[in-house]
Amino acid sequence: MDARQQKTFARLSAAVLELATRGPVSEVSVSALAAAAGVHRSTVYEYASSPADLLERVLRAELDALRAEYLLDVEPSDAAAAVTGVTRAVLRHVDDHDAVYRRGLGTESGAASLHAMLSHHFQGSVELLLEQHSLVVPATDEIEKRAVARWLADGTIGAIDVWLTRPRPRDVDAFLAFVGRLTPAWWPGS
């Protein structure tokens, strides 16, 4: 992206996060998003197919940056610290976007659900650790490794969804300790 495109994407990102904080992103029209970002309607479509698609893209970009910061080139001996660090950072990200995730992970989120996006991201993070040989799981083939990654991802998302029902401020370290009690002994940091 050139500088102008980056500036436009930043305005669209801020606008979609603000609108999704105020109400369900499924109820945000392209016209409302364009007006909030100060761009033409057609500009929105240059970046995403819908406000919900843009919201996922914005959140995924933040999550991908955390993955890159904490999980790239992790030695097996550093896996526990890396997993704890990225989990703590993801929890802060989720808490920073509290209203968006509470609405997007809940059972009533419907087509605007963030569960699949978050599951795909978490599963990708586990798969990255496996590819780098930073992590060893009790799996006999690639299908079982994918199943382990998905099981960890979806279980974590379920726990986060419930954690978001706690009033703010939420205790990230208490959540990490709780999840540590739930994860199997072979998981780093358990």
- Local mean pLDDT, 10-residue blocks, the chain (190 residues): 92 97 94 97 96 96 97 95 96 96 82 87 95 93 95 93 94 94 87
* Cβ neighbours of 139 (radius 10 Å): 14
Place of tokens 């002994």: 185
Q: Where are the beta strands (DSSP E) in 56-96?
A: none
Per-residue confidence (pLDDT) for residue 106, from 0 to 100: 75
- Helical H runs in 40-190? 41-47, 51-71, 79-96, 98-105, 115-131, 142-163, 172-182
Per-residue confidence (pLDDT) for residue 190, from 0 to 100: 72
The answer to whether position 154 is within a domain reads yes
The answer to whether position 124 is within a domain reads yes
Per-residue confidence (pLDDT) for residue 113, from 0 to 100: 85
The answer to whether position 79 is within a domain reads yes
Distance in angstroms (rounded) separating the CA atoms of residues 87 and 55: 21
Distance in angstroms (rounded) separating the CA atoms of residues 151 and 123: 8
Domain ranges, residue 172: 52-182
Per-residue confidence (pLDDT) for residue 109, from 0 to 100: 72
The answer to whether position 114 is within a domain reads yes
The answer to whether position 21 is within a domain reads no
pTM (2 decimals)? 0.92
Backbone dihedral angles phi then psi of residue 74, each to the nearest 5 degrees = -85, 125
Q: How many structural domains is the chain composed of?
A: 1
Per-residue confidence (pLDDT) for residue 112, from 0 to 100: 67
Per-residue confidence (pLDDT) for residue 3, from 0 to 100: 92
Per-residue confidence (pLDDT) for residue 132, from 0 to 100: 94
Per-residue confidence (pLDDT) for residue 147, from 0 to 100: 95
